[in-house]
A = this chain, B = another copy of it.
Amino acid sequence: MSTIYDVAALAQVSPATVSRVINGSSVSPEKAERVRAAAEELSFVPNRTARSLRRRSSNMIALVIPDIENPFFTVIARGVEDRAREAGYSVVLCNTDEDSTKEAAYFDIAVLEHMAGVIVAPASDASDLDRIASAGRPLVAVDRRSHDRRVDSVVIDNPAAGREATEALIAQGRRRIACITGPESVETAQLRLEGWRSSMTAHGLDTAGLERHADFRVLGGRAAMRELLALPQPPDAVVATNNMMAIGALQALHEGGIRSGDIAVASLGDLPSAPVMPENTLVIDLPARALGITAAEVLLRRIAGTESAPETIVLGTGD
């Protein structure tokens, strides 16, 4: 493990010059070359910890997501990671289980570790993003906006996604279409629900009693579907506003012995690789990877020091 002093000695320059070469400041060509040769010779690699200490910022980015078992978020993670790594940053993946307490603990760590920035899919509207913002760390919300409008957000056009799913079911001839959405405290859940509602009313269809709030997870989707099945007049289709609840809904249909085709399910977002896709299932692709890439780009820009007002980037579902 050689240091810039070793390199400086071998190249017969000062440590500062070595540092400049590493960081791309202006150095005369011949000295730069000597430094490069010396660094090569000693297989020198800069000590990132020392750099972080001095710069008061590391090259780690925290990515805080609510559910690592959900492929939607792992795809986002891969998008973030690919872009971040290109820029020389490492990504620390933090899983919160939709739990704001766990989330807060991760935020504290991010600050303590002097992480360069944080990308978060907030567990709820109550997420304490201020913990990060007030510490002056760049922060980007992804997939879900925060109530804190000071932070950048990268989201999907959620109402459009809700409408798209609903329209597709209507086009299949479905009329009594229910919607299973996420917690009321998550804006994404509300917006997708609104998309469904607007499509329904636009087509003159009744929505009364057909909304259900669940938890964005399999069990919640299943329970909600069971309730819908128990209605005096069950739906003939359902929009699940995320993939996990769609799986839960399909499970409930299967348990209930519903004939495939009697009730159609539209999922917002790809299902985890399944052996067989049930025929009555419709998937609306969500641009998860683009979400991750874009969030990383916005964050990197903030890390680089861009000072513009916080922005919300809305990605179309077709992206």
Give the docked Cα–Cα distance between A247 and B58 (Å).
41
Give the docked Cα–Cα distance between A112 and B78 (Å).
22
A251 contact set on B, CB distance < 8 A: 275-276
Within A102-118, the residues touching B (CB, 8 Å) are 109, 112-114
Cβ contact within 8 Å between A48 and B273: no
In chain B, what residue has the closest Cβ to A58?
A: B49
Copies in the complex: 2
In chain B, what residue has the closest Cβ to A62?
A: B90
Does A45 count as interface, using CB distance less than 8 angstroms?
yes
Cβ contact within 8 Å between B218 and A247: no
Residue with the greatest number of chain B CB neighbours at <10 A, chosen from A92, A93, A273, A276? A273
Q: Quick one: given A92-B93, A276-B276, A278-B275, are A112 and B250 in contact (CB under 8 Å)? A: no
Question: How many interface residues does A have (CB within 8 Å)?
Answer: 40
A271 contact set on B, CB distance < 8 A: 275
Measuring CB to CB, which residues of chain A are less than 8 angstroms from any residue of chain B? 45, 47-50, 52-53, 58, 60, 68-69, 71, 74, 77-78, 81, 90-93, 95, 109, 112-114, 218, 244, 246-247, 250-251, 254, 271-276, 278, 281
Residue with the greatest number of chain B CB neighbours at <10 A, chosen from A91, A113, A246, A251? A113
Cβ contact within 8 Å between B58 and A68: no
Cβ contact within 8 Å between A74 and B69: yes
Contacting A275 at CB < 8 Å: which of B113, B114, B274?
A: B274
